[in-house]
Structure 1
Amino acid sequence: MSSLAQEKKYKKIITALTIIIPLAVAALFGINLRELGFDVEPLTFLPPIYATINGLTAVVLIAAVVAIKNGNKKLHEQLNTFAILLSLVFLVMYIAYHMTSDSTSFGGEGVIVYVYYFILITHIVLSVIVIPFVLLTYMKAKLGNFVEHKKIARKTFPIWLYVAVTGVIVYLMIAPYYA
């Protein structure tokens, strides 16, 4: 299969995932298994774990940039693949938590409420926006189109890093209010 044909095939998959992932998360986020009568334990231990995964993702992304700047393409690829896997593990844990546990409201007062919601909203919006960027960046590298890979990676990296770091910040800000 030609590179162009492969890219066309992968772009269809990327488009589908870009639509399916946010819709699935939104749908599953609104389902609480306990409220539906299922006898499941709330997975209240997950938030610090998935916040740690977000932090680890940020470290891995920075290490991937350092690796490529030092000319280590293989390590760069391995680190980025690991960052994608971490993001998937985060997503599964995040969904599992919200499907088994009651939502937690932020209990801060004053200006910190606005700071919290600004960070939370930008984190959520950019976590959706970054999906096609990550997948396209990865695809370009896998297909050996490193000029395009580098071009899109310059946009992908800061967005993905912001999402990873703000995930930790959101957790730290809301952690005192978990039941």
Structure 2
Amino acid sequence: MNQNLEAEKKYNKWVIILSIVIPVVVAILFKVKIDVKLPIFLPPIYATINGFTALLLIIAFVAIKKKNIVLHENLMTTAIWCSVIFLVMYVLYHMTSDSTVYEGNYRTLYLVILISHILLSVAVIPFVLITYVRAITKNFERHKKIAKITFPLWLYVAVSGVVVYLMISPYYT
């Protein structure tokens, strides 16, 4: 068996575990309410992080097209860390605050974007992890194949997160 495939397989259990554990833990934490007032209002911060993630993804895409592998690697690693920081802030906000209800004229559009954002944010986790594993194990052909799926999914999640924030922000109390 190819040495790179063997290296990739070593990570597969972690990809599966994290792809299940992250959404389950987030769902559980959403039900936990902590009576603490955070010193800062998190939604504009984590929306900005989502926007920054989208920008990183686009620049990383351009970098790899220009064969700038080191820049691409650094940008993608940063995008992953931005997504982790976003998730932590998002969960903290929802553990300490009530959800805001959108009541505007575009409620159906808002719900379509929000629901697709939530569903794809769960679905993209294994794609990101598998794509990353294939890169670090130097399975570049396999990496490229899945990256073609991961990139648009992850970009949609990042951009739709910003759109959801912009649509709901007038309703924050």
* Aligned ranges 1:47-86 → 2 under 5 Å: 47-86=43-82
Once the two structures are superposed, residues 49-73 of structure 1 have per-residue CA deviations (whole angstroms, 9 ceiling, x without a partner) of 0000000000000000000011100
Superposed CA deviations along residues 55-92 of structure 1, whole A, max 9, x for unmatched, are: 00000000000000111000000000000000000000
Number of the residue aligned with 1:11: 12
Provide Cα deviations, 1:121-175, integer angstroms capped at 9, x if missing partner: 0000000000000000011011111100000000000000000000000000000
CA contact (8 A) 1:14 1:132 kept: yes
| Residue correspondence of structure 1 range 10-159 to structure 2 within 5 A | 10-34=11-35, 40-42=36-38, 45-109=41-105, 112-159=106-153
Alpha-carbon distance, 1:43 to partner: 5.8
- Find the partner of 1:161 among 155, 167, 171: 155
In structure 2, list runs of 5 or more residues that go unmatched: none
Q: Distance in 2 between matches of 1:177 and 1:82?
A: 31
CA distance in 1, matches of 2:136, 2:9: 14
What amino acid is the match of 2:41? F
4+ aligned runs moved over 3 Å, structure 1: 2-5
Deviation at 1:31, TM superposition (A): 1.0
Q: 1:44 deviation in Å?
A: 5.8
Distance 1:149 1:115 in 2: 34
Tell whether the 8 Å contact from 2:5 to 2:139 is kept in structure 1 after alignment.
Answer: no
Aligned to 1:37: none
User: Aligned-pair distance for 1:100?
Assistant: 0.7
Which residue identity does 2:20 align to in structure 1? Answer: I
**Mapped contact 2:46–2:90 kept (Cα < 8 A):** yes
Whether the 8 Å contact between 2:60 and 2:71 is mirrored in structure 1 is: yes
Comparing 6-15 and 128-137, the one that deviates more? 6-15
| TM-score normalised per structure 1 | 0.93
Question: How many residue pairs align between the two structures?
Answer: 171
* 1:8 CA displacement: 1.8
